[in-house]
Each structure stands twice: as C-alpha cells, then as structure tokens.
Amino acid sequence: MTCVVQKYGGSSLADMDKIKRVARIIADVKAKGVGVAVVVSAMGKTTNHLVEMAAEVSPRPPRREMDMLLSTGERITMSLLCMALSELGAQAVSLTGSQCGIITNHRHNDAQVIEVRPFRVLDEMAAGKIVVVGGFQGVSYRRDITTLGRGGSDTTAVALAAAINADRCEIYSDVDGVYTSDPSTVADARHLPELSYPVMQEMSVAGAKVLNAQAVQFAKEKQIAIYARSTFDRNRETVVRRFAPGEVVGVQAVVSEKEIVRVRIRGSRVLSDFNRALEILENEQVPVKEVHVTRTQGSTVSPRATFVVSSTNIYGWDAIQTNLARELGASIAFDDHLGALSLIGEGLNRTNVTLIEAIELLKNNAIEVFGISTTSFRISLLVPRESVAAGVRVCHANWILENG
C-alpha cells in the first residue's frame, strides 16, 4: 500500500472552516486506498499567542515550561481535525509527539530529533486509521516534553516519513512551493520547481521559513524528497531532492532574517571573556553563529571576538542580553539594530565577482553594510534592520529578474 506523510501548517488550519476543508482533502486521499499519516501545526498564530502569554507572566520563562505550554497548540489542532474526519466517516486517531515515539535531546525550545520509534503509528495505520500527529514536539530521554524550534512541524513530518518508510513527504502551507524570495515581501519572486538539499538548507538557515532548516537537514540525511505545496491551490509544487553536484548557477534566491544581534568582545582577556559569554549562552541554550576570533601576532591592535545570534525566537532574549552585559562589563558590546540578507546559490563563491557586485549594489542604493560572511552556497550581509526589505528587493531585481 502506498503511504504518505502530509504536513499541514498553521495557515492551512487557521479556523474551523479550514480544518473541515483539510479533513475533506485527507479523507479523499485515504478513500483512494493510500495510508495517511498527517502532521499538524498549531492553528494560525496560536503559538505566537502562547509566547505572548508567557512573556506577560515572566520576562525569562523557564525553558521546560515554555515547551509544556507551546506543545498544547498542536494538541488543539490534532483533536479538532480528528473530530472533523470522524464527521466524514473516516477513522482517525490523534497522537502527541511522545505517543508517536519522537525522541529528542534535552535542548528545550530547540530540540533535535534523535530517534523515532513509530510502533504506535504503524499499528494504527495497519488498523486502517488515519493517524494525526501533533507536530513540533517530542519527548526527551529524560521524559520531558520538548519542542523542535519554530516551524518544527516540518521536522516532525520528515522524521516520521523516514521512520515509517513513507513513499512521499508533502508539506502544505499557504504558498505553492519555494520562491526565489519571500513572495509576501517580493511581489515578483519566481517559483522554483525543484531545488537541491544544500541550496534549500542554506535558504532555510538564512531565514526562508517556508521549510524548516532541521527538516531539510533530516531529509538530506535520510534521502527523503520533500514536496512543498499549497493546501488549497494544487497547480504547482517545489520538490527538494538530491541532485548530482551541478555547475555554477549563480544567485538562485535572496532571503532574509529581520532580527540579528551581533555580539562583540574586545580587550586583553578576549578568549576567556568569549568563553564566558559562550558558557552563559549555552546555559540558556542559545545557539551562536558566524563566530570570528581575531588575534594578531605581535600587534598592538587589540584582539576581538564577534558572533551573531538570531534573536527572533529566543524567548526572554532581552533578559539574557542584560545578563551578558552585567557579567562581562565593558568588554562586551551589542549591535542590536541589524538584520541579514543572504544571496544563495550553488558555487556562488567560486569567484569573488558576486561579492564585489553585492557590496557595490548596496552602496549605490545607500544601504550600509555592517558585516559579511560567506559559505560556498551563501553570501550574508548584515544591514540595518529597517533596510532589510529594500536590500532584498534590490538584490532580487539585480540577480534574479535581470538574469532571467
């Protein structure tokens, strides 16, 4: 029997009417004799509302309790969807992440899936039921409820598809696939029918929330093709899958992240201060990126360390920043007015041409650059937060629209 995992995001399940429409779609698939496991996210903006509720109670909520709170959003959707399926005469059962055997590490709010033990899911499917799984959540080996980071239901879907050996993993949202830039800010963004794992992964890491970065990483490891589609408009899709390493294709997408904080550490004790900052952040389970430590032999230039934090989804970030400032005193400084825009493409940095052009282009458009970092698939530029959207548009117009 063919078996699919379908994931429906919060935008597809935002109200009761949409839940009923999704139930009809799933029941039709099942009626064709296909085994279906469905992963759901919390309805609409529910997770955001839960985060706001927590912030009203505590500026620095305990991470374990955040997970307990946030995991409830998906429980609401999964039970309502099963009720709607049952109204249609379909047999369905809802299961939490822990009931599905989604085992994670103990990193609350940003847990990694370590293993999936899908026995219950397989039993229910073998009994002919549609299994509806609460996405974005698991259980740690210490038996605490964990969540997989914002957008983490995509990861649940891919991990489950691998564990039950599904024929397809389909991710449904309000867009009909992946575009060259976020279509909600770049009106003329172009649809991409297919993408390689590394390009998609760089896009997700750099802020394209249409697919979650951990989900793409998982899909790459397990060689699962992801079909990104729109729930209510089925004309197009994007397939993310393995491709033979290709030739240089230049800029394929322009993505952005609105809230970046750059942390700078200076002074004679730079390495120990840097270590101390990392310890504090690790204690709070805050990941850091783009680490640079510079010491020049025999020079009078003072050594420095810098790194960046994507602060958007770190609950209680302001309190953490205040604590860092208190612990490290004058040797630490924060640039907290920045965002990042990133050019993504295979072989992008095999020459320096794109980087040179990017610096020129932003300068000509009066957008100041405060930092640059590269990988073989990406050029990221730190720019003022208020210039991110304009920067994305000029880069998209220059590389994607001009080059056809």
Ligand X SMILES: Nc1ncnc2c1ncn2[C@@H]1O[C@H](COP(=O)(O)OP(=O)(O)O)[C@@H](O)[C@H]1O
Ligand Y SMILES: N[C@@H](CC(=O)OP(=O)(O)O)C(=O)O
> Could you list the residues that contact ligand Y (CB under 6 A)?
9-10, 41-42, 47, 73, 135-136, 150-154
Element housing 324 (H / E): helix 317-328
Both tokens of 285, joined, read 């389970």
CA dihedral of residues 51, 114, 157, 174 (deg, nearest 10):
40
Among 4, 5, 6, 12, binds ligand X (CB under 6 A): 12
Q: Of 9-17, 112-120, 273-281, 349-357, which segment contacts ligand X by CB under 6 A?
A: 9-17
Q: Does 35 bind ligand X (CB under 6 A)?
A: no
**Which listed range, 175-183, 279-287, 345-353, 368-376, lies at the site for ligand X (CB under 6 A)?**
175-183
Residue 162 C-beta-side C-alpha neighbours within 13 Å: 23
5 forms bridges with which residues in the sheet? 37, 169
Residue 104 vs residues 37, 63, 140, 218, 257: alpha-carbon distances, Å = 20, 15, 5, 13, 26
Q: Is 341 in the site for ligand X (CB under 6 A)?
A: no
136 interacts with, out of ligand Y, ligand X, none, CB within 5 to 8 A per kind: ligand Y
Q: Which does 152 bind (CB under 5 to 8 A by kind): ligand Y, ligand X, none?
A: ligand Y
Q: Which residue has the tokens 């230039």?
A: 301
Q: Is 392 annotated as a binding residue?
A: no
Say whether residue 205 binds ligand X (CB under 6 A).
no
Contact of 287 with 297, CB cutoff 8 Å: no
Q: Which does 47 bind (CB under 5 to 8 A by kind): ligand Y, ligand X, none?
A: ligand Y
For ligand Y, the closer CB: 217 or 306: 217
Q: Which is nearer to ligand X, 73 or 101 (CB)?
A: 73
Angle subtended by helix axes 317-328 and 270-283, to nearest 10: 150
Q: How far is the CB of 79 from ligand X (least distance, A)?
A: 19
62 Cβ contact partners less than 8 Å away, ≥ 6 residues apart: none
Alpha helices in 148-269 (DSSP H): 153-163, 197-205, 213-222
Q: Does 174 bind ligand X (CB under 6 A)?
A: yes
**Interaction with ligand X in 208-267: which residues (CB under 6 A)?**
208-210, 255
Pairing between β-strand 102-104 and β-strand 137-140 as defined by DSSP bridges = parallel
State which residue, 103 or 205, has the beta carbon closest to ligand X.
205
67 makes contact with ligand X (CB under 6 A): no
Q: Is 5 annotated as a binding residue?
A: no
210 binds, among ligand Y, ligand X, none (CB under 5 to 8 A by kind): ligand X
Q: Answer yes or no: is 371 a known binding residue.
A: no
Residues 131-170 that bind ligand X (CB under 6 A): 151
Amino acid, res. 51 = V
Per the annotation, does 210 bind a ligand?
yes
Both tokens of 247, joined, read 């030739």
Query: Which of these, 230, 34, 239, lies nearest to 131 by C-alpha position?
Result: 34
State in angstroms the smallest separation of the CB of 37 from ligand Y: 16
CA 201, CA 89: separation in Å to the nearest integer?
39
**104 near 140, Cβ under 8 Å?**
yes
- Residues placed in the known binding site for substrate: 47, 74
For ligand X, the binding residues (CB under 6 A) are 9-12, 41, 151, 173-175, 178-179, 181-184, 208-210, 255
